[in-house]
Amino acid sequence: MLVYQQVRPEPLITVNAATGQILDMSGEHKPDLPEIPDDTDEDDGDNPCRESQKRGLYFYFAVALLGCLVLLVVFVNIPLIQASAGATMTRTSWQLQSYANASGGMQPATGPNITARFSGDSRITGFAGCNDYIATYTTENYAISISPSATTRNTCGEPGMMALETLYLQDLDNSTEFRVTQTALKLYDRTGKPLLLFVPG
């Protein structure tokens, strides 16, 4: 005797991709699947943290840009400043304020005014304390080369002035570098030791 048992097929489940709803073959509505929130649709303008991060990035970018501009201005202007230093030296007459004495220290100049005038035709003229003098010079950037000075042959009656004149002319001849502003002219030897300090006279 044969016994037949009816096998009921399992219903097929169909998911509606547009709505996320589950439908079986009979078309009955099943509860919706929980939807995962999509963060990509969030309005970034309403997120204060992201706004703060954006402002921070803009600030650091502006600081970096400003730093680059400052460096550019500095490195472009340095050669121009150096090239014009020699011309700046010729725009005024200079009076000695202090000089390197025999021991190498800077000493205030006393007595008659010792002067120097750097002309645009590469000559130095002035008064050395007892005699007038003349020399020639050349400059390149902050380097200076001064020829030995020629002086008049006057004797100096004031005690110590001949020695001061000798030291001054030696310091002038030994100068190899200079720095100049509107208010001071400084001459240095090859080791960087200051030799002469002038002020506008």
pLDDT per position as a tens digit, 35-83: 555 554 545 555 666 666 767 777 776 777 776 555 544 444 444 445 5
> Mean pLDDT for the chain?
78
Once rounded to an integer, what is the mean pLDDT over residues 9-28? 56
Is the confidence at residue 26, as pLDDT, over 70? Answer: no
Report the pLDDT value the prediction gives residue 48, as an integer from 0 to 100: 62
Is the confidence at residue 181, as pLDDT, over 70? Answer: yes
Burial of 142 (0-12, 13-18, 19+ CB in 10 A): middle
Is the confidence at residue 33, as pLDDT, over 70? Answer: no
Report the pLDDT value the prediction gives residue 31, as an integer from 0 to 100: 52
Cβ atoms of residues 164 and 129 within 8 Å: yes
Report the pLDDT value the prediction gives residue 32, as an integer from 0 to 100: 53
Is the confidence at residue 167, as pLDDT, over 90? Answer: yes
Higher pLDDT: 176 or 77? It is 176
Q: How confident is the model at residue 193 (pLDDT cuts 50, 70, 90)?
A: very high
Once rounded to an integer, what is the mean pLDDT over residues 188-200? 97
Q: How confident is the model at residue 158 (pLDDT cuts 50, 70, 90)?
A: confident
CA distances from residue 97 to 106, 111, 116 in whole angstroms, order as listed: 10, 11, 11
pLDDT per position as a tens digit, 86-145: 788 999 999 999 999 988 899 999 889 999 999 999 999 999 999 999 999 999 999 999
State the SS3 of the chain: CCCCCCCCCCCCEEECCCCCCEEECCCCECCCCCCCCCHHHCCHHHCHHHHHHHHHHHHHHHHHHHHHHHHHHHHHHHHHHHHHHHHHHCCCEEEEEEEECCCCCEEECCCCCCEEEECCCCEEEEECCCCEEEEEEEEECCEEEECCCEECCCCCCCCCHHHHHHHHHHHHHCCCEEEECCCCEEEECCCCCEEEEEEEC
pTM: 0.60
**Domains of the chain, start order:** 86-200 (2.40.128.270)
Q: Please give the angle made by the CA atoms of 69, 72 and 78, to the nearest 5 degrees.
A: 140
Report the pLDDT value the prediction gives residue 13, as an integer from 0 to 100: 58
> In whole angstroms, what is the distance from residue 115 CA to residue 96 CA?
6
Cα of 90 vs its chain's centroid, Å: 27
